[in-house]
């Protein structure tokens, strides 16, 4: 039975998982969740009803970073997304968490606020989120200044996380000219075939 990914193409964490699959040319069935039948099928596998979810024969794997690790362990490909060296692997995992927690989370705060009625808007939360994005962009600018990818010369799990995070963050809080290395890194990510 082939791999089945339960996901939606606009969901950033699904995109992270898709990049890993495309990067290694891993064959899979893409089960887009957008109708009642899809939601029911997802709920039968994971009552929390969150995606992405990977079904690998009898194994059900949830959470994007864990799915990527599962793929690396059980469906290896030419691109090693987490290095064998423990210290290098920790750096990749840290950067994965950085993009999820310090770019994706504040970006989602801004998106959620835009979806609220004017009377329900959270000006302080939005200000804090914008500040955190600026801090993250500034810090990332220094990190990627002397290297091709998030953790060095190799494309990794960290870059799989960075692509959707920076893609969407730019839409709600532009990176701008203050952070040229972050902007250039985002451009390199979006040009990568597995991302594009």
Q: Are 2 and 28 in contact (CB under 8 A)?
A: yes
pTM over 0.85: yes
Joined together, the tokens standing for residue 59 give: 């194994």
Question: Residue 41 forms beta bridges with which residues?
Answer: none
Three-point CA angle 146, 155, 194, nearest 5°: 130
How far apart, in whole angstroms, are the C-alpha atoms of residue 36 and residue 38? 5
pLDDT of 2: 85
Q: How far is CA 52 from CA 5, 33, 84, in A?
A: 7, 10, 25
User: What CA–CA distances, in Å, run from 101 to 13, 59, 88, 96?
Assistant: 12, 27, 20, 9
In three-state form (DSSP H/G/I as H, E/B as E, the rest C), the secondary structure along 140-175 is HHHHCCCCCECCECCCCHHHHHHHHHHHHHHHHCCC
How many alpha carbons lie under 13 Å from residue 118 in its C-beta half-sphere?
0
Would you call 29 helix, strand, or coil by DSSP? Answer: strand
Q: 109: left (phi > 0), else alpha (psi -120 to 50), else beta? A: alpha
- The token pair at 70 is 């599962």
In the prediction, which pLDDT does 147 show? 93
Per-residue pLDDT for the chain (196 aa), expressed as one digit of tens each?
Answer: 489 999 999 999 999 999 999 999 999 999 999 999 999 999 999 999 999 999 999 899 999 999 999 999 999 999 999 999 999 999 999 999 999 999 999 999 999 988 888 889 899 999 999 999 999 999 999 999 989 999 999 999 999 999 999 999 999 999 989 999 999 999 999 999 999 9
Q: Whose CA is closest to 71, among 153, 135, 147, 160?
A: 160
C-alpha distances (whole Å) from 187 to each of 108, 142, 154 are: 21, 16, 16
Please give the pLDDT value at position 116: 87
């Amino acid at each position: 039975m082939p791999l089945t990914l339960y996901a939606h193409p606009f969901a950033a964490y699904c995109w992270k998982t898709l990049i890993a699959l495309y990067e290694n040319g891993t064959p899979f069935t893409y089960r887009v969740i957008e109708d009642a039948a899809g939601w029911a099928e997802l709920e039968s596998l994971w009552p929390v009803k969150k995606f992405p979810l990977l079904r690998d024969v009898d194994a059900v794997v949830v959470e994007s970073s864990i799915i990527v690790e599962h793929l690396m362990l059980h469906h290896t490909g030419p691109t090693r997304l987490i290095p064998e060296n423990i210290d290098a692997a920790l750096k990749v995992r840290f950067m994965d968490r950085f993009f999820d927690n310090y770019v994706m989370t504040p970006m989602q705060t801004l998106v959620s606020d835009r979806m609220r009625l004017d009377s329900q808007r959270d000006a302080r939360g939005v200000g804090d989120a914008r500040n955190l994005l600026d801090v993250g962009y500034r810090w990332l600018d220094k990190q990627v200044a002397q290297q091709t990818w998030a953790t060095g010369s190799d494309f990794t799990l960290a870059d799989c996380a960075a692509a959707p995070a920076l893609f969407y963050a730019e839409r709600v809080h532009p990176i701008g000219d203050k952070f040229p290395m972050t902007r250039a890194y985002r451009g390199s990510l979006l040009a990568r075939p597995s991302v594009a």
